[in-house]
Structure 1
Amino acid sequence: MTIVVETAVACAVAWALRKAKRVGGRVDGEVDSVLDAAMDRVHEVVAGKLGSSGDLGRLEQEATFALQRDPEQARHTLNDGFTRHSIKGTLAQAIDTDEEFAAQLKEAVEAYRVAVGKASLAALGAYGLTVEGDLRIRADNGSFAAGTAHVEGGLTIGNPSKLGPDNA
């Protein structure tokens, strides 16, 4: 359930940042409306358990302040903050003690992850590649390797061998 808690907390941070940025605006695009709905669902499940005041209310206030202070660092500020860690601990405890909540959160997080995958694929286009983990690209014998990739993890791109007079 750790991945469920981590994803739910990441959603709570993203939701708070989105709310602070827009005060009404939504992510653009038809595919992204599915992502918005999935993120909203995770937030509804979390808020249903934790309430919209307390840590979630504090997270929204922190998001507004972080965006005003330094929009480029806002996500890092929230991810490093005490409120995020408090929400994480509370959700982990709630999952351990409330099976119905755990099932609802797991379902909402899975729907969110599917929506993220679809949004990523739409953004990459027909020949795009989404990778979770390390990706190594290598070209041998004077060949050429290229593409568009969204990588969450390490990326290593090797150099192709040099052509010589015998393999030109």
Structure 2
Amino acid sequence: MELELLAGYVVGYLVQKFGRVFRRADEEVDLAIDAGMDRLHEVVAERLGDEPALARLEEETGEGRQSPRTRQRVRLALEEAADGDPEFAAELEWLIDDLRSGGAQAGDHGLAAGGDVRIEASHGGVAAGVIHGSVSTGNPPQPGPSDA
């Protein structure tokens, strides 16, 4: 992901995180998002240290405003840090991807969903999120005389 775009996403999520601190929701999805934004904030705060623009963004957001100049200063600080540290950039990208997916992840041959999933079957059909192997909707074939 391009550094400018990545930094823009990070700033956007930081603004959401700072705003949500004052109005934490109790729903599980919100808790997962909050946890992801908390982790993003930890990583950014650890890397940027005492960056005045980050502190100012948190202060402004807490007051219900964010100046475009402050957002730009944080974005530029993130771009510079990520440009000089590919591991930091990769971690930011992973965290942003995780937040954008709603925290849903699946391994090989898995199924992940960031929201409700409804799977139905009718009239002898088969319904599943993931199937590994053969599926039959009828009785298994009986061995005939040549199969014995």
TM-score over 0.5 (shorter chain) = yes
After TM superposition, the structure 1 = structure 2 runs for residues 53-92 of structure 1, keeping only pairs within 5 Å, are 54-66=52-64, 77-78=65-66, 80-92=67-79
Q: Does the CA contact (< 8 Å) of 1:45 and 1:108 recur in 2?
A: no
Q: Does the CA contact (< 8 Å) of 1:55 and 1:86 recur in 2?
A: yes
Residue 74 of structure 1 corresponds to none
Q: Based on CA coordinates, which of the two structures has the bigger radius of gyration?
A: 2
Structure (1 or 2) with the greater strand fraction = 1
What is the TM-score normalised by the length of structure 1?
0.56
Q: After the TM superposition, which parts of structure 1 deviate over 4 Å for at least 4 consecutive aligned residues?
A: 116-119
Choose from 8, 11, 18 the match for 2:10: 8
Residue 95 of structure 2 corresponds to 108
Identity score, percent: 35
Shift of residue 44, structure 1, vs aligned partner: 1.2
Map Cα deviations across residues 21-61 of structure 1 (whole Å, 9 max, x no partner): 23xxx223112211111111111111111126622211121
What is the TM-score normalised by the length of structure 2?
0.63
Choose from 40, 43, 59 the match for 2:41: 43
Structure 1 unmatched ranges of 5 or more? 67-76, 127-168
Q: Does the CA contact (< 8 Å) of 1:42 and 1:112 recur in 2?
A: no
Structure 2 unmatched ranges of 5 or more? 105-112, 119-148
Q: Does the CA contact (< 8 Å) of 2:48 and 2:81 recur in 1?
A: no
Structure (1 or 2) with the greater helix fraction = 1
Aligned pair count reads 109
Aligned alpha-carbon RMSD (Å): 2.4
